[in-house]
Amino acid sequence: MISKKMEAALNEQVNKEFYSAYMYLAMSAYCNSIGLPGFSHWMRLQYEEENMHVTKMYDYILSQGGQVHLKAITEPPKEYGKPLDIFKKTLEHEQFVTASIHRLMELAIEERDFATQTFLQWYVTEQVEEESNVNDILAPLRMVGEDKGGLMMIDQKLEQRTLATGA
């Protein structure tokens, strides 16, 4: 059983996770359109991961006897700039999601809602991983700058990403 306030906050987070999925799919399309198939693949898998984040939270709300309220998803941008800008925007977005998860955790602590604290712990850990993965890509991107050969190498590396299980 979760409080109505917690139910509303989790529904807001479901919407944010949906937006994340939508944004990464838009990024995937954009990367494809600028000739970066590896970047596009990475973003496509990120989209799949976000869908898992949505479903996990959706299932939790229902398992706690809560009501799911699906809201309109904001339209993501169509263009994301240069390869470095794409991942800078990705990091910014993940930091925004991390802050949102932390606010949810604060609410769960305030309400002494132990079940939701345990549930949210998975997202706290996941966000550490998400930010770290993006930082690992940003470092070589900063190094190569506009160098086409370097960008191609990074593109090939991103093409190798596989979907993480256990989400």
Give residues 80-99 in contact with ligand OFO (rule: CB under 6 A).
Answer: 94, 97
The answer to whether the beta carbons of residues 111 and 10 sit under 8 Å apart is no
Among 27, 47, 50, 104, binds ligand OFO (CB under 6 A): 50
Q: Which of 25, 53, 66, 119 binds ligand OFO (CB under 6 A)?
A: 53
Q: Give the one residue of 7, 113, 130, 155 binding ligand OFO; rule: CB under 6 A.
A: 130
CA distances to 34, 51, 150, 151 from 54, rounded to whole Å, are: 29, 5, 35, 32
Q: Which residues inside 135-164 make contact with ligand OFO, applying CB under 6 A? A: none
Angle between the 37-63 and 83-110 helix axes, to the nearest 10 degrees?
10
Short-list 51, 22, 53, 26, CA closest to 129? 53
Which residue's CB comes closest to ligand OFO? 20
Say if residues 43 and 28 touch (Cβ distance below 8 Å): yes
Q: Is 27 in the site for ligand OFO (CB under 6 A)?
A: no
Q: Which is nearer to ligand OFO, 97 or 107 (CB)?
A: 97
